[in-house]
Amino acid sequence: MQRVVITGAGTVNALALDVPGTLRAMREGRCGIGPLYIPDLDRLQVRIGAQINGWDAEARFSRAQLGLYDRFTQFALVAGQEAMSQAGLRSVSNPLKWGCIMGTAGGGNSTVNDAFHTVFAEGKSRVHPFTVPRLMNNAAASHLSMTWNLQGPCFSVATACASSNHAIGLAYQMIRSGMAEGMLAGGSESMLNFGGLKAWEGLRVMSRTGCRPFAKSRDGMVQGEGGAVFVLESLESAKARDASILAEICGFSMTSDAGDIVMPSLEGATRAISGALADGGIAADRVGYINAHGTGTAANDKTESAAIRSALGAQADHVLVSSTKAMHGHCIGGTGAIEVLACLMALNEGVIAPTINHDTPDPDCDLDVVPNEAREASIDIALSNAFAFGGMNAVLALKRI
């Protein structure tokens, strides 16, 4: 089986519009959550989010392109450009052996919101002729494939908040098996509009005050927007072109709770963590850092803490665990990809992103959650957890190389 490495990374999120700026913000423990600036905000109860302010789409894309690109697709294309640039790729040598898998939960949600407003609020009888190509979940993956002439496997994954991890994990498996030589993989999301937020309000899992993962005072998640894209390729391919390697993906597992549609399962999450370790032949005592799903909801954080203890045993007392969602928000289908950046920072720079806003420890979350300030540590293995509505779990294991 082929070994699989990451050679490029790109991102767009509320902390920064690139990877260096995002990592700097994570090191500083900066919060990207603030007041929202969207139409009809007065009709919402939740008025905060990790919004990407100052996004100038007209400066980045032509008028013709913007007719086809929903906001989530724009984020993916800009992140993909950064990832390919860092990987040193202006093109791929064998397009038939390169592909793209992207995760998203809402797809072109901004387009859906605008179309509904046009029809129902404004009473118009027509919508934009490219409404369907803009809103379809595979739009970002399709446009990335067309931009970079990737003619191998190309599709989107929709597993709610685990979408990015599933996308990256499936790309890893394709390269490992020899089905592909390289892949673009990650996730993107943009649901910070009236329709998107009003739907989330109905679930009663959103905080009106802020995101406080693992803290006793936590009262819900805060939604963000953005995403990240990575260049994955075989170690052989990376070495052949003398590419810089950011990390090796050394394990992946996906499980289904087959239980409740919204309540997390201890058993399902435990199996996902244990499965990633087993897939990579990784002993629990080698895991130094876990980027937790850590949504800031009462049920998720408690269950995830118990799952980490169940999967790692005694090592749970020594592993560093943090949730970066308190900084960049919960970007739903794009969030796992952004969180992989924190794992890369831990592996390459020895800096652990903090869990900010951690005001009061919770006995039910009795892990070292790196509260409030980044910490230095030498890390060889990092895990990225993603546990989604619908009982969809996906855990990635990354190794310093």
Q: Which amino acid is at 219?
A: D
User: Do 377 and 345 touch, CB atoms closer than 8 A?
Assistant: no
**Whole-number Å distance between alpha carbons of 230 and 188:** 12
In a domain, 245, yes or no: no
**For this structure, is 161 an active site residue?**
yes
Three-state secondary structure readout of 157-176: ECCHHHHHHHHHHHHHHHHH
Same domain, 261 and 219: no
In a domain, 39, yes or no: yes
Same domain, 230 and 269: no
Spell out the per-residue pLDDT of the chain, length 401, in tens: 999 999 999 999 999 999 999 999 999 999 999 999 999 999 999 999 999 998 999 999 999 999 999 999 999 999 999 999 999 999 999 999 999 999 999 999 999 999 999 999 999 999 999 999 999 999 999 999 999 999 999 999 999 999 999 999 999 999 999 999 999 999 999 999 999 999 999 999 999 999 999 999 999 999 999 999 999 999 999 999 999 999 999 999 999 999 999 999 999 999 999 999 999 999 999 999 999 999 999 999 999 999 999 999 999 999 999 999 999 999 999 999 999 999 999 999 999 999 999 999 999 999 999 999 999 999 999 999 999 999 999 999 999 99
In a domain, 65, yes or no: yes
Give the tokens for residue 43. 């009709």
Same domain, 271 and 209: no
Q: Which amino acid is at 259?
A: G
For 21, counting Cβ atoms within 10 Å of its Cβ (0-12 exposed, 13-18 middle, 19+ buried), the class is middle
Active-site position among 166, 328, 330, 358: 330
In a domain, 246, yes or no: no
Nearest of 115, 148, 134 to residue 69 by alpha carbon: 134
Q: Which residue has the tokens 């998203």?
A: 104
End-of-domain residue from the set 240, 259, 294: 240
Cβ neighbours of 360 (radius 10 Å)? 10
pLDDT score, position 39: 96
pLDDT score, position 261: 97
Same domain, 234 and 381: no
Same domain, 226 and 79: yes
In a domain, 8, yes or no: yes
**pTM greater than 0.95 (yes/no):** yes
The total number of structural domains that make up the chain: 2
pLDDT score, position 320: 99
Same domain, 220 and 143: yes
**Whole-number Å distance between alpha carbons of 398 and 6:** 9
User: Do 50 and 22 touch, CB atoms closer than 8 A?
Assistant: no
In a domain, 148, yes or no: yes
Cβ neighbours of 54 (radius 10 Å)? 6
Tell me the backbone φ, ψ of residue 154, rounded to 5 degrees. Answer: -145, 120
Alpha-carbon distance values, 274 to 249, 285, 311, 354 (Å): 16, 12, 5, 24
In a domain, 359, yes or no: yes
End-of-domain residue from the set 209, 240, 271: 240
Same domain, 337 and 359: yes
Start-to-end CA distance of the chain, whole Å, equals 17
Same domain, 282 and 199: no
What is the DSSP-derived secondary structure letter of residue 193?
S
Same domain, 233 and 255: no
Active-site position among 161, 250, 331, 343: 161
pLDDT score, position 371: 98
Active-site position among 293, 331, 343, 365: 293
Same domain, 164 and 188: yes
The CATH number of the domain where 261 resides is what?
3.40.47.10
Same domain, 192 and 61: yes
pLDDT score, position 327: 98
**For this structure, is 330 an active site residue?**
yes
Cβ neighbours of 340 (radius 10 Å)? 28
End-of-domain residue from the set 185, 211, 240: 240
- Residues spanned by the domain of 259: 251-399
pLDDT score, position 323: 98
In a domain, 371, yes or no: yes
Same domain, 285 and 156: no
